[in-house]
Amino acid sequence: MGTASSMLTQYDLEEVQLHCHNLFSQQEIVSLYQRFCQLDRNAKGFISADEFLSVPEFAMNPLSQRLLKMVDGLNFKDFVAFLSAFSAKANMEQKIALIFKVYDSDGNGKISFNDILEVLQDLSGVFMSNEQREKVLIQVLKEAGYTRESYLMLDDFIKSRRE
């Protein structure tokens, strides 16, 4: 895949479309490729964390550091797959899986008390003390039937959506 939208072949378009579970049309993929090429300033074929931070909406997001771990070094196909969770056509389970990955910063497939606490810290900043965050989180987990020692799995996230 080249450095301009005209470099995408029909095969490339179909391959990317399959990779993102047909959540984007071919025209949307062409538009995403143009944006990818703009972000990939050095035409390396992937986007670095610094290049992602050049997008103001991304840089201003309180979870940007967590998201950077997920997007740093993405090639075009993986860039589109990452963005597919934000598509209006994505189902709820695909969206929940992305949120799960944001919380699961070490990628071990489970979310600990400390993982959630770190996200709360990112979101609340100086507006809450660590003690306040811990008390709130302990109470929320207790009400949901979990303890400080519990781990949340992707199925727990999906199950909570259904209840």
Q: Please count the other Cβ atoms lying within 10 Å of the Cβ belonging to residue 20.
A: 23
Out of 7-11, 88-92, 157-161, which region has the weakest mean confidence (pLDDT)?
A: 157-161
Confidence label for 154 from pLDDT (cuts 50, 70 and 90): very high
108-129: per-residue pLDDT in tens? 999 999 999 999 999 988 889 9
Confidence label for 161 from pLDDT (cuts 50, 70 and 90): low
Q: How far apart are CA 73 and CA 96, in angstroms?
A: 23
**Domains, the chain, ordered by start:** 5-84 (1.10.238.10), 92-162 (1.10.238.10)
Kindly state the average pLDDT of the residues 34-55: 91
What single string gives the DSSP state of each residue in 110-128? -B-HHHHHHHHHHHHGGGS
Q: Is the pTM of this model over 0.95?
A: no
69-94: per-residue pLDDT in tens? 888 899 999 999 999 998 999 999 89
